[in-house]
Structure 1
Amino acid sequence: MLSARVSFAPAGPDFIALQSAAMAVPPSTDSRSGGLRATLRHGDFTKLWLGQIVSSSGDRFYQFALLHLFLGSTGGFMGSFGRDAARVVFCGMILPVVLAPWIGHQVDTHDRRKILLWAEAGRGLIALLLLLAWAAGLPLSFLLIFVAASGLLTGLFIPARQAALPMLVPRDHLVRGNALMTFAGIAAELAGATAGLAIALVGESFSFLAAALGYAFSTVMIFRIRTQLLPTPAGHPADEPETPIAQPTLFTVRLLVWLTVAFTFVTGLFLPFFAQHAAVEIDSSWLKPWLSQRTDATFAGLVVLLGVTGIGLFAGMLTAGKIPRIAHQRALPVLMLAVWGAATWKLGATTAYASACVLCFFAGCATGLITIPADARLQHEVAGERHGRVFARRLALSNIAFLAGLALNLNGQLLRTFGSETMLKYLGLFSIVLALGFWFAAGKRLRGCWGSTAVEVPVPLSPR
């Protein structure tokens, strides 16, 4: 079955001509009302999904081992994320930023299955090399070379995975496919707690080995994918009728990209403020009767709040995957950015633990309902042969946004000057203002649902 994608070509100063591009995808065997199980019936997608659950979990072991290796077990909870941690994060993110055009070109011109395969295999090999380099006593500065190489492979893998997903499921399963990929991330967060415990008990060697095994499992699952994941050639065959599709505009694509990038920036700012607020302002003393004498109630309280946030993210995933009428609303990501901002603002004003749990749940749910529909709509409305470039550039912008947030928090000056309560309130208000800005900029484009059929006509652009 052939389903359409769109690409953009200039047609004068005031219009974008919408062109169709054919993409071979599995036939849809059920309506949009089907559940997540219907998406998992597409065997090659399920192979990729299972591999990502294990690989993402192994990735958390890799990250925890790296941070423990560079930071050691001293320095305290809030003091450990300093210069050395910034070096690790910077080295892991910088190459996908610098090489974003090259990455997008590779994903859009080569077999995406091979890119996924070699990227996962390469990350597993690097995890083993890091283990050997650490055992050999090589200087930590030398290990940063491996960190940068692994970051580059991750920068290749993520756009290739996002570009491959629409080729593994039908168009009306894109939201559910992205929701299931989010579930892999939730499983990875749970694995993070296990990683921290494993490092505390047996050291970094086990975590590097666990990461390598996770990447190896994902490599095997990708190897077993039989669907052709070659980039889609532009245009339909002469005798192939075009499928009517919705009208995307370049403005809409840019809106989705910048909205998710802005959300990455505010969440990067949020984490240290939230951690400080949970440790100092929110009363977690009620946990003490349930804990051993060695366990810090403050740290346990933070872990519980993060767990509740994960439950909220899971609820957002289920909502997006099971209620398409909600997930396909054009305004949903913008509205959820405002909800996230309101929850963050209220979180800064509360000290009651029960209230904090409720707010963390809503923040997690809003996160899922921002990222999942945005990714699915980009996959739906951007031409298949351009997915790699779009997602590579968005990843680069997201990395820049995260690094900018990291730089603002690196020396802790904002926390010392304003305090976590005030900063959370400011961040919540800033997110609400961002949502209002996106809303007024988009105007009528946020009405109705996306994914419905429509006749292709030129779409007016905003004045240049």
Structure 2
Amino acid sequence: MATETPRSDRSGPPLSAPDGAPGSGAAEEGPAAGAAGAQPRASGLRRLRRFAVDTEPLRSAPFRRLWSSTVVTAIGSQLTAVAVPLQIYDDTGSSALVGLAGAAALVPLVVFALWGGAVADLMDRRKLLLISNAGIAVTSLLFWAQAATGMRSVVVLLVLLAVQQALFGINQPTRTASVARLVPARQLPSATALTSTVAQFGQIAGPLLAGALVPVLGLPVLYLLDTLALVVALFAVWRLPALPPLNVAARRAGLADIVAGFRYMTAHRLLLVSFLADVIAMVLGMPRALFPQMAQLDFGGPEGGGTALGVLYAAIPVGALLCGLLSGLYSRVRRHGVMVVLAICVWGLSVAGFGMSGPLWLAAVLLAVAGAADMVSMVFRGAILQTAATDEMRGRMQGVFTVVVAGGPRLADLLHGTVGASAGTRYTVAGGGLLVVVVMLLLTAAVPAFWRYTAER
């Protein structure tokens, strides 16, 4: 796999020295007795560091710039993710229309993620990131304009959402495929963990911040803050080095290139099943379209936002973040297929429990457990992807990955919004969680090789 990159000047901040190493200060503190007493503590800290997120990829200046663009948009993007369904529900009082927003986002996301992944394999990825990031910033500004002027048009919201998701569909596979050009191959898992952990932090802080800001400053402010974050991210992307194709001549992507990506995916059975596993978990078991209604009717939250809504949106990322901070544990596990199956079953059972939970604190705990299971599933599915995809196909595989990861929950928005409007929120959520477990076990029985898959050392 070609991973030669515009290598960094390694000018980033050095990692902190281990206790007792020259320059750390631990070896200069006095008598031998003190040093001997510090050794067990230093040894314990070193053991803990083996399980924590590896920050070595941040020594690469190009990756650090790409990662920093994710940092500043992690919270801002979640402000918009909360603002759009909240605005629709406030204007219409309909969870079904909130679910319709998921459908409006899904089609352009699918089309442009697949096409964008092919384009990312055939043109300068930095240039494509600049174009798509700028487009997303303009769309976010238009979101603010319609909310600030009190337009109250669901059609305008859905059109803007469709355009935004089309641009996201281009941006996300390009961004992810660029990482392998910015760090050595051995650092790819650590780089992925860093990016995922920051994204999970944004999904915690963003909804909580949104719930706090809406009653005080109003909903349009959420869109404006997202716009400002996107402008900062655009500057970070502009400072990246050129990322032209390595092994093919730059050219326009066509339908044949997209088809070639699908042929590649279907030829790798383990990769295909890992995608299907995530579709099962997200489509059947992601109840976020019902969060605005459940926050008000089931957990006593006020209209227009509030703490309950923020807690529901943030609970899943809390569990995922905790697992991300302990990602050093994952390197010790070889049965990747087993971990994916078990994690998705835990996700389904936790979501089912959330659907029937009473107090808000219990609902938050169960959603956090679901988030932890989702992070475990994502890590091991990502490991399978890394072993199956070559550099020449990475953009297209990341395009499919974007469709599955981002498109699945949007399809779930449509499913849960429409079913929940007629069957009730609690039965819809609990039934979906249990269905995740049943369908995942059926898929595992149909393809037992996935359960037996063991990573090579």
Interval containing the TM-score (normalised by the shorter chain): 0.7 to 0.9
Identity %: 22
Distance of 1:225 and 1:328 partners within structure 2: 37
Mean Cα displacement is larger for which, 364-373 or 122-131?
122-131
Q: 2:61 aligns with which of 31, 43, 49?
A: 43
* 1:315 match: 322
Mean Cα displacement is larger for which, 42-51 or 365-374?
42-51
Distance of 2:454 and 2:245 partners within structure 1: 28
Matched, 1:112 2:125: yes
**Amino acid in structure 2 at the alignment position of 1:39:** P
Distance 1:202 1:308, change over 3 A: closer
Indicate conservation of the 8 Å contact 1:51/1:218, yes or no: yes
**Amino acid in structure 2 at the alignment position of 1:113:** R
* 2:433 match: 428
Matched, 1:198 2:203: no
- Residues 330-409 of structure 1: pairs in structure 2 closer than 5 A: 330-348=337-355, 350-351=357-358, 356-397=363-404, 401-409=408-416
Report the CA distance between 1:306 and its aligned residue: 5.0
Distance of 2:191 and 2:64 partners within structure 1: 9
Indicate conservation of the 8 Å contact 1:310/1:361, yes or no: yes
Matched position secondary structure for 2:243: coil
Distance of 1:277 and 1:128 partners within structure 2: 29
Deviations 1:226-260 (A, max 9, x none): 3x5333427xxxxxxxxxxxxx9610111122222
* 2:43 match: none
Matched, 1:213 2:220: no
Matched, 1:443 2:448: yes
**Amino acid in structure 2 at the alignment position of 1:96:** L
Matched, 1:174 2:165: no
- Number of matched pairs: 399
Matched, 1:23 2:3: yes
- Residues 150-169 of structure 1: pairs in structure 2 closer than 5 A: 150-169=164-183
* 2:288 match: 271
| 5+ residue gaps, structure 2 | 16-48, 249-265
Matched, 1:127 2:140: yes
Distance 1:380 1:118, change over 3 A: farther
| 5+ residue gaps, structure 1 | 5-21, 235-247, 285-293, 453-464
Distance of 1:144 and 1:353 partners within structure 2: 31
Report the CA distance between 1:382 and its aligned residue: 0.5
Distance of 2:173 and 2:371 partners within structure 1: 24
Indicate conservation of the 8 Å contact 2:343/2:373, yes or no: yes
Distance 1:441 1:171, change over 3 A: farther
Matched position secondary structure for 2:336: coil
Q: Indicate the structure with greater helix content.
A: 2
Deviations 1:128-164 (A, max 9, x none): 3444455667783456444332221111011111211
Deviations 1:260-303 (A, max 9, x none): 222221233x3356777777677x9xxxxxxxxx979x964564
**RMSD of aligned alpha carbons:** 3.8
Report the CA distance between 1:222 and its aligned residue: 1.4
Distance of 1:341 and 1:280 partners within structure 2: 23
Distance of 2:361 and 2:162 partners within structure 1: 41
**Amino acid in structure 2 at the alignment position of 1:363:** A
* 2:269 match: 251
Mean Cα displacement is larger for which, 155-164 or 113-122?
113-122
Distance of 2:130 and 2:454 partners within structure 1: 35
Q: Indicate the structure with greater strand content.
A: 1
Q: TM-score, normalised by structure 2?
A: 0.74
Matched position secondary structure for 2:121: helix
Distance of 1:151 and 1:110 partners within structure 2: 21
Distance of 1:74 and 1:308 partners within structure 2: 26
